[in-house]
Chains A and B, each alone.
Chain A
Amino acid sequence: MSLTEHVVEISDVYKTYHLGKVKVHALQGISFKIKREEYISIMGPSGSGKSTLFNAIGGLDIVDSGQIFIDQVDIAELDAYELAWLRNRKIGYIFQTFNLLLAFTAQENIETPMIFAGMPREERRKRSKELLTAVGLGDRMRNKPGQLSGGQQQRVAIARALANDPAIVLADEPTANLDLATGLEIIELLRKLNNERGTTIITATHDLKMISISDRIIWIRDGYVDRIEDRADVQVSSIE
């Protein structure tokens, strides 16, 4: 696949939830483009549509209308098998609640996406060890999620997201369940991955700590793009 400038392209996306008789217009015509190797924060108050947008970009949920291109492939046109491949190889996911497989050790959690990718066992062992070491948990490989702290679990989740070397890492409120210091560590780690591996990172967050390290911030309000700011502009406006 050729190296395209825009790794994610979203145009005019709508999504409405039906909660009984109430219609919730979560996304109302969202459009933006994300360049390769960018660090993007999608910010906005609770209920602004951040998580819906996160699910839409990641191909985790279907949208009502509009197009989402990942590496110039329209994900609406993918069949179930291709979507699974996309989630497996192209995109890594990080969640607020970590969503690790509780029955497995840290190492096995990281190996699961590799199993789905058909990687041989020896290679899996080696790679999962490397990834765990990279996130600073080389000595906790045999621990299950229940035996790890929140920050450590999130590190395992980050290592799992990187299992098949994805082009994009999507993070939904990755720091919301963590204390201030641990949250900062996770943000640092994400920034490091962005710098060292060139992984495009997209976080949906309302954690203002993200602002100082993001290349661009997309502000969402009531399902619309409120404004898109570069880092330099934001620092000024947030001081005001």
Chain B
Amino acid sequence: MSLDLPEPDFTIGEMLFLSFSNIRRRFFRSVITALGIILGIAFMVALLTSSFVLREMQAETGVEAYQFWLVGISLVVCFGGITNSMLMAVNERVKEIGVYKCIGGLDSHIVRLFIIEALLLGILGGSLGGLIGILFGIVINLNRFSIEEISLLIQDNILFFVILLVASVLVSMILSALATYVPARRAAGLSPAEALRYEN
């Protein structure tokens, strides 16, 4: 049985509009989700920055031995923080996914809506988190080195900080998208009736 249907004309512009409205209208919830990302990224980037500064200055501080572990832990915190906030954000919206399905949303439309939202939050959280992390990583070393030394270091290594910032945006985008894709895919695969019945 074929209904001979035309391709739906659901443009990326429409999706961006819907996703963006969702973030804006659920502003406080989005802020909380973004904070989860920002904290995770900032923690990791601050430690990476700090360890970079110490290494470049060849400071004999005795903390080098811990750096490796700290960065490892910060990665775990970052992964956990982002994954947790995105999972929660999707999980509390399963009913909404059911509504989208009832009014004719395809599974792929719905998943894409959530992914775009996650990417937008990921870009925001990653760039803010990266900036805060770099600032913090520098500030905590100000008691060891003079401002002149640090600013010289930054000037010489501006590329490192740019790469660090780009990397933190990428990491946060990829993690947010993945942590959204898995539950959103699962929820969109439910029948609409099941999704509407879903209780958190």
A interface vs B, CB < 8 Å?
55, 58, 60-62, 73-74, 77-78, 80-82, 84-89, 93, 95, 99-104, 108, 112-113, 115-118, 144, 160, 163-164
Contacts and interface: CB of A to CB of B under 8 A. Distances in A.
Contacts of A85: 3, 5, 104
Nearest to B3: A82
Given A103-B21, A115-B10, A115-B18, A87 B103 contact: yes
Given A60-B193, A61-B194, A103-B22, A84 B101 contact: yes
Contacts of B6: 118
A74 B196 CA distance: 24
Contacts of B25: 102-104, 144
Contacts of B191: 55, 60-62
Contacts of B106: 80-81, 84, 116
Contacts of A87: 101-104, 192
A60 to B, nearest CB: 4
Interface string B62-102: 00000000000000000000000000000000011011111
Contact of B8 (A61, A77, A104, A116): A116
**Leading 9 A-B pairs by shortest Cβ distance:** A88-B104, A118-B9, A103-B25, A61-B193, A113-B103, A55-B193, A60-B193, A60-B192, A116-B104
Contacts of A108: 21
B197 to A, nearest CB: 9
Given A99-B196, A108-B21, A77 B1 contact: yes
Report which residue of B22, B98, B105, B193 has the largest number of chain A beta carbons within 10 angstroms of its beta carbon. B193
Nearest to B7: A118
18 contacts: A58-B102, A60-B196, A61-B191, A80-B107, A82-B2, A87-B104, A87-B192, A88-B103, A93-B103, A103-B21, A103-B22, A103-B25, A103-B26, A104-B21, A112-B103, A113-B104, A116-B105, A116-B106
Nearest to A161: B103
Nearest to B5: A85
B185 interface: no
Interface of B: 1-3, 5-6, 8-10, 14, 18, 21-22, 25-26, 95-96, 98-107, 109, 191-194, 196
B1 A74 contact: yes
Contact of B5 (A81, A93, A103): A81
A180 to B, nearest CB: 26
A99 B102 contact: yes
A163 B6 CA distance: 18
A73 B1 contact: yes
Contacts of B104: 84-85, 87-89, 113, 116-117, 164
A61 B1 contact: no
Contacts of A60: 101-102, 191-193, 196
Contacts of A118: 6, 8-10
